[in-house]
Homo-oligomer: A and B are copies of this chain.
Amino acid sequence: MSKAERSDTPSGRLTLLTLARDLGVSRATVSNAYNRPDQLSPALRERILARAAELGFTGPDPMARGLRRGRVGAVGVLVDESLSYAFSDPTSVLFLDGLAREVQADGLGLLLHPARRDPAALQALADAAVDAWVVQSLPDGHPAVDVVASRGRPVVVVDQPALPGVPVVGIDDASGATTAVRHLTRLGHRRLAVLAMPLGCDRRQGRADAERQRTAEYAVMRRRLAGAAAAVAEAGLDWAGVPVVEVTANEPDAAARAARELLAGPDRPTGVFASTDQLALGVVRAARALGLAVPGDLSVVGFDDSPAARSAEPPLTTVAQPLRDRGQRVGVLVRAALQGEEVGVPPPAVVGLVVRGSTAPPPRGG
């Protein structure tokens, strides 16, 4: 027996060694009983497991195993700012669900960390024990992204920000937005407006000028606005004349507040492109509060095709993106990367317009 084997500490904690000494076998054998059943006789394995249960030993220590194997069984997920936001946004919820479902096949859990900017939070990210990181829809240049990217573990980005050499799972936001706005112009709408999610971290509310649109920190919004602009130009209209209203948060309430003044004016729009379904729901609510009929007086197009869009009253015309699928696709990439495969950047998923009840031709007088 080696020195270690002979050591006779009373050992409050239960370890492989405890068990091995108790049974008079080597640590390696106990380890094999758990990890490689084919490496020892079934009889001995049975004996080991039985004695383990007796002593209350519940298996190898996860951290020690993690160190040795280089795996902990956790996928880090960097979500925007507060968890409640990540949980309130249906897009995000379905994404996380899809991701969790996919990675749980490998026994992986999701380690959620909000992407805060303070040093303590950044340090916590650097210290987080994960096998890979998923960065979910963060603004360009967020310091937390650099931290996780520098840890040398596989990284998969969702939507944004683009990182050199890092696969991004996303959709063709621009063409989705173009389709949405084109739907409105083809219906005959000439007075349009756009509702935008936050364009920066400063939580501004109100008209976003061209400069603000161009310098938006969220790439997704930059792309959707650009797509919308393209459709507007295509219809022979002036993009500068289309009010783009930035909302403080991607929530119906905030959108309703923002939409109220937009719809109260004299030259109110007849067609609104809301860049997410959450915003679209708010627009519909505001319209109703002002006595406007949707789609009679006002057409609203959303984006995402969240569950709420389907069950809304009226059901929302929206750009459909495969929400839960995205999570799953990210999970597939993560699993592949963890198996050492080189993963390329997948092409953006296709999006298509789903026409429902929230859009119609503009009112006669409009």
Contact = CB atoms under 8 A, between A and B. Distances in A.
Interface in A64-119: 64-67, 70, 72-74, 76, 82-84, 87-88, 93-94, 96-97, 100-101, 104, 107-114, 116
A67 B74 contact: no
Contacts of A100: 82-83, 112, 114
B112 A110 contact: yes
B107 A127 contact: yes
A94 B82 CA distance: 11
Nearest to A88: B93
A345 interface: no
A62 B109 contact: no
A17 to B, nearest CB: 15
Contact of A121 (B61, B67, B104, B253): B104
A215 interface: no
A56 interface: yes
A262 to B, nearest CB: 21
Contacts of A116: 104
- What is the count of identical protomers in the complex? 2
A74 B128 contact: yes
A7 interface: no
A116 B74 CA distance: 17
Given A100-B112, A107-B120, 18 more contacts: A14-B152, A58-B150, A62-B127, A63-B67, A66-B129, A72-B129, A73-B127, A82-B97, A82-B100, A82-B101, A83-B97, A83-B101, A104-B114, A104-B124, A108-B124, A109-B111, A109-B128, A110-B112
A311 interface: yes
Contacts of A58: 126, 147, 150-152
Determine the interface band of chain A, counting residues with CB < 8 A from chain B: 35 or more
A62 B74 CA distance: 12
Nearest to A121: B104
A127 B59 contact: yes
Contact of A311 (B67, B104, B253): B253
A128 B66 CA distance: 10
A32 interface: no
A31 to B, nearest CB: 14
Interface in A45-67: 56, 58-67
A151 B97 CA distance: 26
A129 B128 CA distance: 11
A86 to B, nearest CB: 8
A329 to B, nearest CB: 16
Nearest to A149: B58
A293 B74 CA distance: 50
A64 B62 contact: no
Contacts of A59: 126-127
A293 to B, nearest CB: 18
Contact of A87 (B14, B93, B126, B127): B93
Nearest to A70: B63
A301 B31 CA distance: 56
